């Protein structure tokens, strides 16, 4: 079975994105994410975001794995999406700091 690169785009993923866009504050986003995700999923998302920020700073992958407490395979996957994904990481990384 083959899959297309945009198979993840569904009515449900669109509805999720629209729901997130209705939120006004970081506290609102955190409350929503905590209800939508299991604690493990939320920690995994936060870890991936931490890894992306460290990669963007230019830290070596092995150092990032040690600092974040994850495998080098996870760091490599985040790096792959950061450099060859849909550009989502880059969109947020390039935003000015609040």
Domain-located, residue 11: no
Integer angstrom CA distances of residue 64 from 39, 57, 76, 88, 92: 22, 11, 10, 20, 19
Is residue 5 one of the residues assigned to a domain? no
Please report, in tens digits, the pLDDT of each residue of the chain (98 residues total): 455 667 889 999 999 999 999 999 999 999 999 999 999 999 999 999 999 999 999 999 999 999 999 999 999 999 999 999 999 999 999 999 77
Question: Whose CA is closest to 50, among 64, 32, 30?
Answer: 64
Res 27: pLDDT: 97
d(C-alpha 98, C-alpha 95), whole Å? 9
For the chain, how many structural domains are there in total? Answer: 1
**pTM attached to this predicted model:** 0.87
For 35, the domain range is 27-93
The CB-based long-range contact list for 3-9 (8 Å cut-off, 24+ gap) reads none
Identify the CATH number of the domain in which residue 33 sits. 1.10.1270.10
68 and 52 Cβ atoms separated by less than 8 Å: no
- Provide the pLDDT for residue 34: 97
């Amino acid at each position: 079975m083959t899959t297309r690169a945009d198979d993840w785009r569904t009515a449900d993923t669109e509805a999720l994105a629209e729901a997130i866009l209705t939120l006004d504050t970081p506290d609102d986003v955190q409350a929503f994410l905590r209800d939508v995700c299991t604690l493990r999923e939320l920690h995994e998302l936060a870890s991936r975001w931490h890894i992306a920020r460290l990669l963007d700073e230019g830290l070596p992958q092995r150092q990032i794995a040690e600092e974040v407490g994850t495998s080098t395979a996870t760091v490599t996957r985040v790096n792959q999406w950061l450099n060859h994904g849909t550009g989502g990481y880059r969109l947020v990384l390039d935003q000015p700091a609040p």
